[in-house]
């Protein structure tokens, strides 16, 4: 699944991890592939399943 980097940054910021959000901003591609970029998502504590469930409504999926 492709997710815009901005949505992932929002999610990281929502849990109060501003430093990690800044790092993710510089390291993640503009469109994050939850399978291909799973290592990066894991590095930032983002669960692809959480993205699919938590952001699905916000992304219109």
- Distance, in Å, from the CA atom of 45 to the CA atom of 42, rounded to the nearest integer, reads 5
**Structure-model confidence comparison of residues 35 and 60, the more confident one:** 35
User: pLDDT at position 52, please?
Assistant: 67
Domain map (residue ranges) of the chain: 2-13+27-59
pTM: 0.77
Distance CA(30)–CA(28), nearest Å, equals 7
- pLDDT-above-70 percentage for the chain: 84
Residue 7 has pLDDT above 50, yes or no: yes
Mean pLDDT value of segment 27-50: 92
């Amino acid at each position: 699944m492709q997710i815009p980097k901005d949505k992932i940054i929002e999610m990281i910021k929502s849990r109060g991890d501003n430093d990690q959000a800044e790092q993710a901003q510089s390291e993640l591609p503009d469109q994050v592939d939850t399978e291909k970029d799973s290592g990066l998502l894991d590095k930032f504590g983002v669960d692809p399943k959480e993205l699919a469930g938590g952001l699905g409504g916000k992304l219109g999926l």
